Amino acid sequence: MSIGIGIDALAYFVSPSALLYRQKKAPHYKETFVCILDTAETIRQAQKDDRIARNHCYLCRFTGMAWLVWLINFCIVLSGVFLGLYQVFVSKDWTADFCLGVKFHQGFAILGALLVFGGILYFATNFFSSIFDENCKSFLNRGANTPNTAPEGVHSGRLSENA
């Protein structure tokens, strides 16, 4: 369980998904961005098996969303860091108004709560990514015998590596 808590902690404090993958908690993200740029139709054409194609599309979309959520969480953390730096070196007053009557220490608390919510979103997107990754692999393992004819850049090596 302690490992589980450690992984959760990593996720909540916006570790990149690649770290989670190393702990076997998230799918591989190597070619995600290339995959996201392709249309669903391209992927469908590349995969003969419609089930794999469908799951493949969802996998790409959720993987992309997981990265997006990670990016937003990371922005929240960066905002916190800049806010902290500004407070320490420029403002030097914790109780001073930061914006719209919100003081610095209140601003940090709000960013923290947003980060917790971001953590839930991050879990959800990662979870769906891993579901679709498993789906694709299980379809391939069931002997779909689909030749991997995906054109270069359409996530071609990843599934056969993992399967």
Partner 1 sequence: MTESLSSFSYGFALFLSLASLAVYLSGAIWHRISRGTVAGFRLDFTLGIPSVRNKESLFAYSLVASGTSLSTVMVFFLTSGSKYGWWLFLCPFMFAFGNWLMFKVYTTALAQGSLDEEADTPGVAGLIPYIGQRVSGSRRIGWLLVLLSVINLLAVLVLELIVGVEIISYLTHNTFGTEGGHLFDFFLFLVAIGLLMAYVVVGGFRAVLSSDIWQFNAIKWAFILALGGVLYLAFAEGTLDRGLVEISKLSLAHPWEVFCFVVALGVANIFLPSSQEASWQRFRAFREQADFSIRGALIQSIGNALFLWSVLILLALGLLVVAQGNAAGQLDNLSGVLGFLRTLNDSFFPFFIFPVISLAAVSALFSTADTCIAALLFLLEYTRASRQVAPPKRKILGLPPDYLISLLFILLFAVGSYLFVRWMFRPTILQLIFSVWSNLVVIAPTVISAALLGPARPEEAKRRSKYIFLSLTAGFGFYWMPALAALILEGDYLWLNQISIAIGLVASVIPLIPLWLQRSKPARA
Binding mask 53-72 for partner 1 (x = CB under 8 A): -xx--x--------------
HSE-up (13 A, CA, CB side) for residue 19: 12
For residue 60, give the nearest of 37, 92, 83 by alpha carbon.
Answer: 37
Instruction: Tell whether residue 21 is a contact of partner 1 (CB under 8 A).
Output: no
- Give the nearer residue to partner 1 in terms of CB position, either 153 or 163: 163
Measured from the CB of residue 1, what is the shortest distance to partner 1 in angstroms? 5
- Cα of first residue to Cα of last residue in the chain, in angstroms, is 27
Q: Which of residues 95-154 bind partner 1 (CB under 8 A)?
A: 101-103, 105-106, 108-110, 112-113, 116-117, 119-121, 123-124, 127-128, 130-132, 134-135, 138
Specify the residue for token string 């694709």.
Answer: 136
- Give the nearer residue to partner 1 in terms of CB position, either 78 or 113: 113
Measured from the CB of residue 35, what is the shortest distance to partner 1 in angstroms? 17
Q: Do 16 and 75 form a contact (C-beta atoms < 8 A)?
A: no
Q: Do 55 and 132 form a contact (C-beta atoms < 8 A)?
A: yes
- Give the nearer residue to partner 1 in terms of CB position, either 24 or 152: 24
Q: What is the phi/psi pair of residue 23, to 5°? A: -90, 10
| Residues belonging to the chain | 163
- Give the nearer residue to partner 1 in terms of CB position, either 101 or 152: 101
**How far is Cα 99 from Cα 141, in angstroms, rounded to an integer?**
56
3-state secondary structure of 92: coil
Contact positions vs partner 1 (CB under 8 A): 1, 4, 8, 12, 24, 51, 54-55, 58, 101-103, 105-106, 108-110, 112-113, 116-117, 119-121, 123-124, 127-128, 130-132, 134-135, 138
